[in-house]
Structure 1
Amino acid sequence: MLNQLTVQHFAIVQFLELEFSAGMTTITGETGAGKSIAIDALGLCLGARADASMVRVGTDKAEISTRFTLLDTPNAKQWLVNNDLENEDDINECLLRRTINKEGRSRAYINGTPVPLSQLKSLGQLLVNIHGQHAHQSLLKSDIQLSIIDEYAAHHQLLQKVKDSYQGWHFLNKQLKQQQLNQQEKVARKQLLEYQIQELDEFALNNNEFEQIETEHKRLANSGALLESCQMGLNQLCDSEEFDALSLLRSSVSTIEKQVENDKNLENIITTLQEAVIQIEDASYELRQFSENLELDPEQFQQLETRMSDALSLARKHQVQPELLYAHHQKLNKEFSQLNNSAQLIEQLSTDLQSAENDYYQHAKKLSKSRSRYAKELSKKITHSIQKLNMQQGVFHIELAENNNRTLSPLGLDNIEFQVKTNAGQSLQNLAKIASGGELSRIGLAMQVIISQQIATPTLIFDEVDVGISGATASVVGKLLRSLGESTQILCVTHLPQVAGNGHQQMYVDKQSNGKNTNTTMVKLNEKDRLNELARLLGGDSITAHTLANAQELLVR
């Protein structure tokens, strides 16, 4: 239940703090005073869209906060627990806050924790249900009519199954159409791939082969220079007839060894020189082996030259680096294999689509059956209500028929039409064709009250839903809303004294202006003030003893 609403710098409100009670609270005031402004502010705190124009002129930001008790709202309490947003100080209380700066950016908070707007909206739907003053106009839309049946029937799981099965069917249908649309392009692509793969298959380049060709080609291309350098190196190391490094080192070792007896410190030097002799002997041996094994094979070089040239040519043709030619070949093979599987994929998608369609129809027919059952029940209740609302000969009927064009919809298979007859002797006709504005308003109000009794939301707001209603009908509407207020918190913005007098409590909206600034306030009325306000609604600015007496009759205590 809504306990408190605080509004700062919102539209023409400077500051407003309101306490709300259980039962039915009516809100009245002069035309243009801003009776709906508190409802608009509350809507923002429940996740409605915000913009910069909502911030009071001359201020930096608007701020709206609300406090709810959750003793009668187990769904909202569980939602807070599931989202780790419960009030740590009092689990049975919930605080919502919304700020909007003058640039139009807003921030939302639940129990002091910043949250995305989607979460605020999700929680708000469990706390408050708002019926706007033009809601009855939407009754002419088929999707709204279906939603009314579904709300009344409360078969939410069944409706969700239809939506889920539709989404599965829609996804598969989209995939299948895309595959079929691309089939012609795939045929052309497959023909190109066949030619490219055949060419690469014939060349048969192995993984890392190009790098090996490059290395061997470079070696053979420089084999003459390699051999010449090897022979020169051997000559300098050990094969020269005049002098070489190995002979010089051995001579040095022999010379120094003769002096070891004179100084033992020369032993370390001799050891180092002997190691150098061994290393040069090893290097000379390896260099000789390399030189002897170095082949000068012009025929092999020519074969490598040709293979390398062909690889470079194919790489240019396929617009890849030559070392990536093998990977490119494998990629084309994979794509070709996928294209070969395209027909099988289309066949499988067609099978899956048919299965998804069967699943959809299974759930949709169950939904239709449930709707048909509750449509009859709801039609009787609405007929009974509108007859109380001064449409004594009125009959309301919900006509449901299966969609014959076989077009699948997330809302199911049903075509719906709200039908009504308002006078004896008439036949049932489409609501849009026969109902006047006042009649449509009464039917919409009756519907809202009946549906509200099915919804677990603890707070219901009716924002001037009694437009087009007057006289005895208005009195019935007031009693109807008061009766609903016995079990549910009701906030009702109204211009009718017959409705206002039925409230358990009443608030008055006033607008003041000093020529420069305008401010709207809202105050709770005591019994005396309520009588004066009811008299004003009855007789305008001139309040007489007669209008006060009438007001006294309208005030339900």
Structure 2
Amino acid sequence: MLVQLTVSNFAIVRFLELDFVKGLTAITGETGAGKSIAIDALGLCLGERSEAAMVRPGADKCEVAACFDISALPLAQAWLKDNELDDDQQCILRRTLTAEGRSRAFINGQPVPLTQLKQIGERLVNVHGQHAHHALLKPDHQLLLLDQYAGHHSLQEQVRQAWREQKILRQEWQELQSTEEQRDARRQLLEYQVQELDQFALEDGEYENIEAEHHRQANAANLIAESGQCLSMLGENDELNVSDMLRQVVDRLGRLQGDDPALEPIVSVLHDASALLDDASHELSRYQQHLEIDPQQFALLEARLSGAIDLSRKHKVAPSALPQLHQQLAEELKTLTDSDDRLTSLEAQVCKAQEHYLACARKLSQSRERHGKALAKEVQKVVRELALPHAQFSLEIHFDEQAPVSGGGLDKVQMLVSTNPGQPQAPLAKVASGGELSRIGLALQVLTSKQEQTPTLIFDEVDVGISGPTAAVVGKLLRTLGDKNQVLCVTHLPQVAGQGHQQLRVTKKTQKDSTETLMEALNGEQRIDELARLLGGDVITEATRANARELLAR
């Protein structure tokens, strides 16, 4: 609940520090004194839109801080913990606004974006404005009030979860469905291409080997002839060959090294060269022996090479890249085939998810039907006490399986009312006058707030247009609500103010060129004087004081 509110340089407020307690707190004051200014300041602290005009004239900035006791609020504690802003006992919200319009937000002393301020604010405070009853004319708001009264949060979450699941599946199915024709055409092309590449079956590195072997076969005759001549020059020619000449050099130098030992290393090298020359000659001989001209093999190589070149031209890649392309196309074909299988599987999953969503939505609708009857009965009872003795009120709930799916279910809710005997019930917008609508709206706000999980409820002049005995009923309703929740109510009615567990008075002080709004908690006699003013106007008499005492006593 709200424990303390501190306001500095906000609008015409110079400084306010207010302490709040449990129960119903009535805020009263003269017209134009700024009774709603504390509510507006709290709204700024809860993340509402800011304007530079909110800063008090002449001040550099305004600041609003609100301290909440969250020791009994597990939802607020969990949110703070999830966002690493946790404090098990309290939550301090602070907002600053400069005269230039720059705003900063803080939670428990840590700077945060405005969205987080709004998120935690929704878990701490719920504000009912003086024009909130106009929202009753909207079916979405009527449904919101019914769900708030019913408190079937688990059923709502089941519907939302089922809606999200079927939405994701349906989107994936629609995306696959929309590209099915393109996939079919692509798959047919890939099947042909992969089959062709499968049949050719060129392996990685095979093209390079084929190309090398083809070149060797094409030049086999020349290789045989040239290698034969080289063998002859190395040693097979009896008249002149390199081997004999090298041996002659070794023999001569061998005889000379006796005269000069310096020739010994040279002779050794020439010996090695002679041995290497013999090895080379033997290797060349074996190479020549294996050389042969094979027209049939050459034709096969020619065909294989031509096939690879033709395929490479068709696919616009190098022949050596065909194996890699083959693998890529095969993988793409598998993906497309898997997509078709996925599409078939998704169709079944979408149908199953839709059935699950309908089942969850139907359960929620049944709960709404049940609680709608209970809410209508309570609203009718309260409205009759609010000077509409013949009022009849009901909720019409229509479950439409053909309606577009949404996270809120498939229900259409319409509030029906009749305020005069013999008049058939009709939608609120067609029957209720402004005054009647405000009373029905107030009854709904109070009754649905009984189920509200938000600990602090604010009613900002929701009793406009109400007076006399009706005002007394409104006061009792708000006090009953204050027995469970912390309720702040800005009011001009003494019957409502007298029901408060505490009362704050707002006054406006003007000095020369300066205006300032003040707010103070009233003690016993001060409260009697304020109620007397509300009862009798500016002139307070003993009679009005007596009426005020009687009002408090009741």
Shorter-chain TM range is 0.7 to 0.9
Instruction: Compare 543-552 and 17-26 and name the one that shifted more.
Output: 543-552
TM-score, length of structure 1 as denominator length = 0.79
Instruction: Compare 452-461 and 32-41 and name the one that shifted more.
Output: 32-41
> Which one has a bigger Cα radius of gyration?
2
Segments of structure 1 that go 5 or more residues without pairing to the other structure are: none
The question of whether the paired residues in 2 share the 8 Å contact of 1:502 and 1:554 is answered with: no
- Rate the CA distance shift 1:308–1:430 in 2: closer, same or farther, 3 A: same
Aligned with residue 470 of structure 2, among 470, 473, 490: 473
Pairwise CA distance, 1:434: 0.8
The question of whether the paired residues in 2 share the 8 Å contact of 1:256 and 1:270 is answered with: no
Mapped to 1, the partners of 2:30 and 2:271 lie a distance apart of 118
Instruction: Compare 242-251 and 358-367 and name the one that shifted more.
Output: 242-251
Q: Does 1:189 align with 2:180?
A: no
Q: Which residue of 2 aligns with 1:455?
A: 452
Aligned with residue 493 of structure 2, among 486, 496, 500: 496
Amino acid corresponding to residue 548 of structure 2 in structure 1? Q
Equivalent position SS for 2:68? strand
Equivalent position SS for 1:408? coil
Instruction: Compare 304-313 and 123-132 and name the one that shifted more.
Output: 304-313
The question of whether the paired residues in 2 share the 8 Å contact of 1:236 and 1:244 is answered with: no
Q: Which residue of 2 aligns with 1:96?
A: 93
Pairwise CA distance, 1:4: 1.1
Residue by residue over 1:263-293, the C-alpha shift from the partner in whole angstroms, topping out at 9 and shown as x without a partner, is 9xx9999999998998888788778877887
Instruction: Compare 496-505 and 239-248 and name the one that shifted more.
Output: 239-248
Q: Which residue of 2 aligns with 1:485?
A: 482
TM-score, length of structure 2 as denominator length = 0.79
Q: Which residue of 1 aligns with 2:76?
A: 76
Equivalent position SS for 2:179? helix
Instruction: Compare 443-452 and 471-480 and name the one that shifted more.
Output: 471-480
Q: Does 1:375 align with 2:372?
A: yes
- Rate the CA distance shift 1:484–1:342 in 2: closer, same or farther, 3 A: closer
Mapped to 2, the partners of 1:300 and 1:61 lie a distance apart of 95
Mapped to 1, the partners of 2:28 and 2:423 lie a distance apart of 38
Q: Which residue of 2 aligns with 1:365?
A: 362
Mapped to 2, the partners of 1:249 and 1:113 lie a distance apart of 97
The question of whether the paired residues in 2 share the 8 Å contact of 1:397 and 1:419 is answered with: yes
Mapped to 2, the partners of 1:157 and 1:37 lie a distance apart of 37
Aligned with residue 434 of structure 1, among 418, 431, 434: 431
The question of whether the paired residues in 2 share the 8 Å contact of 1:421 and 1:428 is answered with: yes
Aligned CA RMSD, in angstroms, stands at: 4.7
Pairwise CA distance, 1:101: 6.0
Give the percent of matched residue pairs that are identical in Structure 1 and Structure 2: 48
Amino acid corresponding to residue 478 of structure 1 in structure 2? G
Pairwise CA distance, 1:63: 3.8
Residue by residue over 1:279-335, the C-alpha shift from the partner in whole angstroms, topping out at 9 and shown as x without a partner, is 888788778877887889899788767766765664565455655443333333344
- Rate the CA distance shift 1:199–1:527 in 2: closer, same or farther, 3 A: same
Mapped to 2, the partners of 1:495 and 1:277 lie a distance apart of 125
The question of whether the paired residues in 2 share the 8 Å contact of 1:246 and 1:280 is answered with: no
Pairwise CA distance, 1:178: 3.3
Equivalent position SS for 1:556? helix
Aligned with residue 389 of structure 1, among 382, 386, 401: 386
The question of whether the paired residues in 2 share the 8 Å contact of 1:246 and 1:281 is answered with: no
Instruction: Compare 333-342 and 486-495 and name the one that shifted more.
Output: 333-342
The question of whether the paired residues in 2 share the 8 Å contact of 1:419 and 1:429 is answered with: yes
- Rate the CA distance shift 1:182–1:217 in 2: closer, same or farther, 3 A: same
The question of whether the paired residues in 2 share the 8 Å contact of 1:501 and 1:554 is answered with: no
Matches within 5 A, 1:11-160: 13-48=13-48, 62-80=62-80, 85-87=85-87, 91-99=88-96, 108-115=105-112, 117=114, 119-160=116-157
Mapped to 1, the partners of 2:379 and 2:366 lie a distance apart of 20
Aligned length: 550
Mapped to 2, the partners of 1:225 and 1:491 lie a distance apart of 109
Amino acid corresponding to residue 370 of structure 1 in structure 2? S
The question of whether the paired residues in 1 share the 8 Å contact of 2:7 and 2:13 is answered with: yes
Segments of structure 2 that go 5 or more residues without pairing to the other structure are: none
Pairwise CA distance, 1:210: 4.4
- Rate the CA distance shift 1:313–1:69 in 2: closer, same or farther, 3 A: same
The question of whether the paired residues in 2 share the 8 Å contact of 1:25 and 1:506 is answered with: yes
Mapped to 2, the partners of 1:457 and 1:142 lie a distance apart of 23
Instruction: Compare 156-165 and 275-284 and name the one that shifted more.
Output: 275-284
Equivalent position SS for 1:503? coil
Q: Which residue of 2 aligns with 1:545?
A: 541
Residue by residue over 1:510-553, the C-alpha shift from the partner in whole angstroms, topping out at 9 and shown as x without a partner, is 5567798765443334445545544555566x435378548725
Mapped to 2, the partners of 1:55 and 1:323 lie a distance apart of 76
Q: Does 1:524 align with 2:524?
A: no
Mapped to 2, the partners of 1:227 and 1:512 lie a distance apart of 121
Instruction: Compare 110-119 and 214-223 and name the one that shifted more.
Output: 214-223
Matches within 5 A, 1:406-417: 407-417=404-414
The question of whether the paired residues in 1 share the 8 Å contact of 2:4 and 2:68 is answered with: yes
The question of whether the paired residues in 1 share the 8 Å contact of 2:459 and 2:490 is answered with: yes
